[in-house]
Amino acid sequence: MIGLLRPGAHDRRWGPLVSAWYDRETTPAETDAVTRHIARCGRCRARIATYGTIERELRAALQRTPVPPARPIFAAAEARRGRMRWPAARAVAGLCATLLLALAIASPPGRALIGTAANVAQQIAGSRTANYAGEHALFRAPAGSAIAYQAHRYSVMSATADGARIEPLGTILVDGGGIWALAGGRVLYDAGSGGQHEWMVAAPDGSAAAPLPNAGNRDVVDVTPDGTRILLRASGRDGAYATAPSATEVLDATGAVLWTGSDAPAANGIDAYALSADGNYIVSGDTGAITLYPIGDAPSLPPLTISGYAVRRPQMARNGALAFAAQALSGPSAGTTTVYVYTREHDLPGIPHGDAFPPGSDPLFALAPDGSLLAVWGMRGASTLTIWGLAGSAAGKVYQDPHVAGVTVHALRWSPDGATLLVIGVDAAGRQIAYLLRPSADLSMARFTSLATDANVAAANWRPDDSLLLLSDAGVPTGFVAVPANGRTLALGLPEDAGARPVFGAGGYLALLKMDRPARFLALRGHDPAPVPGTIAALSWTGDGSGRAAVVVGGQVYLYSPRSGLAAQPLMEGVDVHWSPSGDRLLVVHADGGAEIVAVDGTPIARAPTGIDGRTLAWAPSEATLAGVQRGADGDHLVLWSLDGRITVRASAQKIGRIAWSPDGRQIAYSADAGGGARLEVVPVRGGTPIDLGPLAALDDDFVWRGDGRALLVIDHQQVGEPGMLVALASDGTGGNPLGLPSVVHLYPGPR
């Protein structure tokens, strides 16, 4: 049929051939004919473009579809049918056993990545070949985005006050930590890690996250039930909360400072764990006293002297009732702790609730905001949780909770309306649990509701409307995150694997490449799998969409193409390899640090001048030059190397580490150390004074240009490899902004 078609003229009969050509399913003769035709036929070129669009949409739509794991598929289908549909019970038993076995095999964390390198390499070889095997971590990142490797990701969930309905709200990127509800429906959570605090405020779905102003590296220890006031405390050198007055501060929900301990007349320091329920006082315990620090216009109140006791963690209800733990300082009960409730009707210290807890067994307690109920948990040989009635119809009544057996409780919190108690703890099996107790009016019983989710409840707290916020580690525990130029992060859902690297194919398709295990490159169609003869040490894709790659295995550079798979013979020796932006040439780095430019067939084009560290070389986007570091006796120089052999120095320092071209090729960012520690600097390619953007943890610390070229992304951490907050530094040196991504461990350049 080809002979009947004129190469340059559009004809409907070209359609099936072009379609097959698009799939690389044409014979050599057909391939030549179609190639010549589409070079002249705009309509067929447009047709191919639409084929690509359609295929991307189909694939993306199917990728979006959650694939249930094997067991839910079978279980869900069974549940819908209501009965066994197939008669062969024996076969079913065998099948179930087999599926259980399959699931058991699938369970180890490493299972999901078995074969990843092989599968994803095949899938991303070209955008159109990327299939929808989402389980193998194949995702698309927007062009121009950077990729951050993030430590943890948690789901924010809401629960109704009775715990009957638990629904996902969204996802926030945190390394555990607490969660609080603020006025206005916002969520306050700790995005810090490694003992550092980074308090963020976000919408309940995790979007629009921004740091809480003035929070600093302090812990939130209490938020009023209406979510309008936040009590913060700084830690001392020993890790415990500092009691210096300046360590305590109260902010409102916008982060404005309402009260600062620096101005407080507190010679003995402040040891507060609670704000009064009405938000008017900071309630501080001390040896022999409770001090109430008024906030705003609240009237001053005299301290309450409680002689002979060390007062711990006092709480104050709206009716003025105070609950606190008091440790006897002397006498036969010395060292024991008792929970007291004090109102104006009592003599100090007030009325003890429950027997004393032995030394070393401090109780937890929670006073309801309206002062009507007191919950006390502690260990007196066994775990006991008691609710005492203090006012109203429950006054004088006691409820003992049977559900707490075997549970170590670490948080008790009453709902804002005082009707329901949230209990968070760890059960005997080590699982974090959360449950609700709603006592009856006469405390004769309490309704128990387990806040059961599919995963651990890492944190929980009440919202002002008496519903609940839960922080759960359900779903993907970790992810690679795309950071587009607009700063809105985009979780890619890739699994946690610190040993994996993101690699890109055409169209921004992203995969993880395991660097520490042997892999197989699968030829695309009609070819047998080509085993990689060892562990992949480096990999570079061309950016031209052809799907070609260069791989370093065992000190040898191999080429890979979708048509022929991995070459049987190496191209040349090398320890690292980088395609030129056009995909026409390769930069090959040798073990001795030297480097050379070669054609695709290995023909030498240029060798890097002596002194240039080949491991630092990076192609300019225009491909006309490379930037690299020239080591010399007088220090390091950032140089431009033109392939005609010219060397131009653009910056110098005692040591220079990494280099990154800006997306437009007009600036180069580099890490440098002039003797005072690693810094990130930017210099114009045409020459000029370098701009100092700020410190880095080390010369080999990660930094990546943002897609718009106006900022560089860095990790605010003390040491390379430690998690830290992602920060965007303006490339003109005018400052930086945290991006709401905590515990970022590594940064990688994304697709361009």
Partner 1 sequence: MMAAILMAQSPARAALDDRFTRLVLDHQRRIYRFIFGMVGVEALAEDLTQDVFLSAYRALDRLPADANEQAWLFTIARNRALQELRRRKILRWVPLARPREEGEGDDDTHPFDEGAPLADAVAERDRLRRAMAQVPPKDLACLLLSIDGHSYKEVAEITRLTVPAVRARIFRARERLRQLLSADGDLSLPAEDEA
The residues in 143-172 that bind partner 1, with binding defined as CB under 8 A, are 158, 165, 167-170
What is the maximum alpha-carbon separation in the chain?
111
Asked if 554 and 154 count as a contact pair (C-beta separation under 8 A), the reply is no
Residue choice 84, 97, 257, 395 for contact with partner 1 (CB under 8 A): 97
Residue 467 CB, nearest approach to partner 1 (Å):
11
Report if residue 205 touches partner 1, rule: CB under 8 A.
yes
User: Which x/- pattern over 498-527 shows residues binding partner 1 (rule: CB under 8 A)?
Assistant: --------------------------xxx-
Report if residue 134 touches partner 1, rule: CB under 8 A.
yes
Stretch that binds partner 1, among 204-212, 239-247, 307-315, 379-387 (CB under 8 A): 204-212
Report if residue 64 touches partner 1, rule: CB under 8 A.
yes
Stretch that binds partner 1, among 129-137, 378-386, 682-690, 733-741 (CB under 8 A): 129-137
What is the 3-class SS of 105-127, one letter each residue? HHCCHHHHHCCHHHHHHHHCCCH
Report if residue 493 touches partner 1, rule: CB under 8 A.
yes
Residue 706 CB, nearest approach to partner 1 (Å):
15
Asked if 620 and 665 count as a contact pair (C-beta separation under 8 A), the reply is yes
Kindly state the tokens that stand for 685.
Answer: 């390619």
The crossing angle, in degrees rounded to 10, of helices 28-40 and 14-22 is 110
Residue choice 39, 88, 398, 599 for contact with partner 1 (CB under 8 A): 88
Residue choice 15, 335, 677, 688 for contact with partner 1 (CB under 8 A): 15
Residue choice 34, 38, 59, 671 for contact with partner 1 (CB under 8 A): 59
Residue choice 29, 101, 257, 643 for contact with partner 1 (CB under 8 A): 101
Per-position DSSP letters for 292-334, written without gaps between them: EEE-TTPPP-PPEEEEEEEEEEEEE-TTS-EEEEEEE-SSTTT
Report if residue 65 touches partner 1, rule: CB under 8 A.
yes
Stretch that binds partner 1, among 53-61, 428-436, 614-622, 658-666 (CB under 8 A): 53-61
Report if residue 1 touches partner 1, rule: CB under 8 A.
no
Report if residue 362 touches partner 1, rule: CB under 8 A.
no
What is the identity of the amino acid at 473? D
Report if residue 55 touches partner 1, rule: CB under 8 A.
yes
Report if residue 455 touches partner 1, rule: CB under 8 A.
no
Asked if 229 and 250 count as a contact pair (C-beta separation under 8 A), the reply is yes
Residue 534 CB, nearest approach to partner 1 (Å):
24
Residue 680 CB, nearest approach to partner 1 (Å):
27
Residue choice 29, 39, 93, 643 for contact with partner 1 (CB under 8 A): 93
d(CA 234, CA 218): 4
Per-position DSSP letters for 622-641, written without gaps between them: TSSEEEEEEEETTEEEEEEE
Stretch that binds partner 1, among 17-25, 344-352, 676-684, 734-742 (CB under 8 A): 17-25
Report if residue 58 touches partner 1, rule: CB under 8 A.
yes
d(CA 33, CA 263): 84
Residue among 473, 481, 508 nearest 740 (CA): 481
Chain positions 18 to 47 lying near partner 1, rule: CB under 8 A, are 19-20, 23, 25, 43, 46-47
The crossing angle, in degrees rounded to 10, of helices 42-64 and 28-40 is 110
What lies within 8 Å, CB to CB, of 194 at 6+ separation is 175, 722, 723, 743
d(CA 548, CA 564): 10
Report if residue 419 touches partner 1, rule: CB under 8 A.
no
DSSP state, residue 685: T
Residue 507 CB, nearest approach to partner 1 (Å):
13
Per-position DSSP letters for 226-276, written without gaps between them: TS-EEEEE-B-TTSSBP-SGGGEEEEETTS-EEEEGGGS--TT---EEEE-
Strand partners, 305: 289
d(CA 508, CA 749): 11
User: Which x/- pattern over 563-602 shows residues binding partner 1 (rule: CB under 8 A)?
Assistant: ----------------------------------------
Strands of the sheet with 625-632, listed across from one edge: 612-619, 625-632, 635-642, 647-653
Residue among 187, 134, 192, 193 nearest 158 (CA): 187
Chain positions 462 to 481 lying near partner 1, rule: CB under 8 A, are none
Nearer to partner 1, 109 or 296 (CB): 109
Residue choice 91, 395, 428, 624 for contact with partner 1 (CB under 8 A): 91
**Under rule CB under 8 A, how many of the chain's residues touch partner 1?**
82
Report if residue 545 touches partner 1, rule: CB under 8 A.
no
What is the identity of the amino acid at 324? F
Kindly state the tokens that stand for 369.
Answer: 């905001």
E runs forming strands in 415-555: 421-426, 432-439, 446-450, 457-462, 468-472, 479-483, 490-491, 500-504, 509-514, 518-521, 530-541, 549-553
Residue choice 3, 4, 80, 360 for contact with partner 1 (CB under 8 A): 80
Residue 77 CB, nearest approach to partner 1 (Å):
5
Nearer to partner 1, 95 or 398 (CB): 95
Report if residue 112 touches partner 1, rule: CB under 8 A.
no
Residue choice 7, 10, 162, 466 for contact with partner 1 (CB under 8 A): 10
Asked if 595 and 624 count as a contact pair (C-beta separation under 8 A), the reply is no
Report if residue 127 touches partner 1, rule: CB under 8 A.
no
